[in-house]
Amino acid sequence: MKNIKEAKSLVPQEIIEQKIFLIRERKVMFDRDLAILYGVETRVLNQAVRRNTERFPEDFMFQLNKKEFENWVSQIVITNPGAKKSMRIAPLVFTEQGVAMLSSVLKSEKAIQVNIQIIRTFTKIKEMIISNKELRIKIEELEGKYDAKFSTIFKVITKLITDPERENKRKIGFNVEK
């Protein structure tokens, strides 16, 4: 079995983080991105999934609907005209649980190691979200305990936590109104 250092060197965590998108209010990864990370063709990954559909319920994996697919295609800059052919079928997207299930249908050692890295990345993202909320709650509690002299300090801390610049930036991915 490979050690943790070897597993981490397969794919940098930053690359995995860039491949996680928010669709239907779920963090997901596209089939083609997963195929690249696993070192297989997208059709091979999808074929393995289709042969094991009972392992992939709707909360593990789903296919983009027509509107989501059109929106996704419109956001991709295609320099290779032949690449359009590979985008005729709406992609499958996998939640964290779906990614974990992929290790049971893709048997290669690389797929298993990359899967471990992806699951660790999903976990790290969750931990960051939770710790940010906990910090905000603690600051709000402290704010109530101290008088107006400290209000400026709390405003600055709150501004740093909420990071308004980040909120004003254009979000990556797309949302489809229901």
Which residue type does 34 have?
A: L
CA dist., res. 34 & res. 106, Å (int): 11
pLDDT tens, 111-136?
778 888 888 888 888 787 777 777 77
Q: Is residue 37 part of a domain?
A: yes
**Are the C-beta atoms of 33 and 142 separated by less than 8 Å?**
no
Please, what is the Cα angle at 57 between 43 and 47, to 5 degrees? 15
The answer to whether residue 152 is domain-embedded is no
Residue 177 within any structural domain of the chain: no
Residue 50 lies in a domain: yes
Range of the domain at 31: 4-128
Assigned domain for 153 exists? no
Residue 62, beta-bridge partner list: 93
Q: pLDDT (tens digit, 9 = 90+) per residue, 69-78?
A: 888 777 765 5
pTM above the 0.75 mark? no
Beta strands 26-30 and 21-23 are antiparallel
Q: What domain count does the chain have?
A: 1
Q: Is residue 122 part of a domain?
A: yes
Assigned domain for 111 exists: yes
What is the pLDDT tens value at each position of the chain, 178 positions in all? Answer: 444 444 445 778 888 888 888 888 888 999 999 999 888 899 999 999 999 999 999 999 999 988 888 887 777 655 455 555 556 788 999 998 898 888 788 877 787 788 888 888 888 887 877 777 777 777 777 766 666 666 666 667 666 666 545 544 555 556 666 5
Quick check: is 168 in a domain?
A: no
